[in-house]
Amino acid sequence: MPELIRNGVRIDDSFAEAFPMSGTGILITGPNAKWARQAAQTMTGFATSVIGCGCEAGIDYEVPPEETPDGRPGVRALLFAMSSKDAEKQLVNRLGQCVLTCPGSAVYSTVPGEFEIKVGDAVRQFGDKWQMSKVVEGRRYWRVPVMDGEFFCEGKVGLTKKSVGGGNLLVMGADWDSTMRATEAGVAAVQSVRDAIAPFPGGIVRSGSKVGSKYKGMGASTNDAYCPTLRGVTQSALDEDIGCVLEIVIDGLTDAAVSAAMRAGLKAIIDMGPEQGAKRIGAGNYGGKLGPFHYHLKELLP
């Protein structure tokens, strides 16, 4: 395999294999940035992987008061699921349990998708017939009386089936500290790209998985080829200078957002160089037969 090297960092001639997802996004505003952020954090909690959480969600970016519909600070959160039905169920549940409950919050649609999820139209019933509907500039909102005033929520939120989930970068370094340094820089770059999120803790997953297991009924298990402690005893994908692997997983509203996020992440990790950061960057795939979206690292290099 001809080796690609950028700024001393080895780049695998590999690709990330990603899948179509149903994606939606909401803007949550609050009386101040702290409480807008709080609502978004709570709503996107326990949403790292569709396998166990039902959806993947995260904070996309913060919105200054001048740019929100109600003039209050806001946070844009994205949510992805394997089907539009799952996305709807997850969004309505999370909105009802995490955003409706959060002091001062209000919710607006931000994704002009092909489909719509009825969110306010579901949450409104909490108002026990005291809720009021308001249409402003063709968009319907609900005012639901709650103990700190009113929960203000748009009736419908856009949903797109053109979203992509599973863009990824495998960051490989000599030890935990240097690998983490590089991965954190990569995550920061990924998070600066709009319409894309990294749903795992701090944007990073350390327990990458392979398909299948030696146990019956387990669909996925640890990716032993990338576990540094098994380097000598398994069919390892790791070189001798690799002591730690961390992965950044990326979901985006569009194919373009995922490739832009991967491109930004790659650049940040490469810019740090192999002494301070990662020695090698790879990407996870299943041979290319399962997912229709392929992001080849060599095409995304700076």
Residues at the interface with another protein (CB under 8 A):
29, 69-72, 106, 129-130, 132-138, 141, 143, 149-150, 152
CB of 144: closest distance to another protein in angstroms? 11
CB of 134 to another protein, least distance (A): 6
- Closest approach, Cβ 151 to another protein, in A, equals 8
CB 106 → another protein: shortest distance, Å?
Answer: 5
Q: Which residues, other chains included, contact 189 with Cβ-Cβ below 8 Å and sequence gap of 6+? A: 261, 264, 265, 267, 268
Q: Which residues pair with 160 in a beta bridge?
A: 23
> For residues 27 and 79, which CB has a smaller minimum distance to another protein in the complex?
27
Task: Give me 218's structure tokens.
Answer: 């387990």
Pair 28, 77: CB distance under 8 Å: yes
Residue 299 exposed, middle or buried by CB count within 10 Å (0-12, 13-18, 19+): exposed
Residue with tokens 């690799």: 242
Cα gap 184→202, rounded to integer Å: 8
The answer for residues whose C-beta is within 8 angstroms of residue 91's C-beta and 6 or more apart is: 24, 26, 55, 79, 117, 119, 157
> In whole angstroms, what is the distance from residue 117 CA to residue 96 CA?
14
Instruction: Tell me the closest approach of the beta carbon of residue 141 to another protein, in angstroms.
Output: 7
CB of 30 to another protein, least distance (A): 10
Question: Between residues 152 and 295, which has the closer beta carbon with respect to another protein?
Answer: 152
Closer Cβ to another protein, 132 or 256, answer by number = 132
**Residue 192 in tokens:** 């600066």
Of the pair 129, 214, the CB lying nearest another protein is at: 129
Of the two residues 138 and 219, which places its CB atom closer to another protein in the complex? Answer: 138
C-beta of 142: minimal distance to another protein in Å? 9
Q: Which is nearer to another protein, 134 or 298 (CB)?
A: 134
Residue number, 106 or 198, with CB nearest to another protein: 106
Q: How far is the CB of 66 from another protein (least distance, A)?
A: 10
Nearest to 204 by CA among 186, 221, 189, 230: 186
3-state secondary structure of 273: helix
DSSP states along 65-126: GGGSTTSS-EEEEEEEESSHHHHHHHHHHHIIIIITTSTT-EEEE----SEEEESHHHHGGG
- H helices of the chain, where? 33-43, 50-53, 84-94, 120-123, 176-191, 255-276, 297-300
Is the CB of 75 or the CB of 242 nearer to another protein? Answer: 75
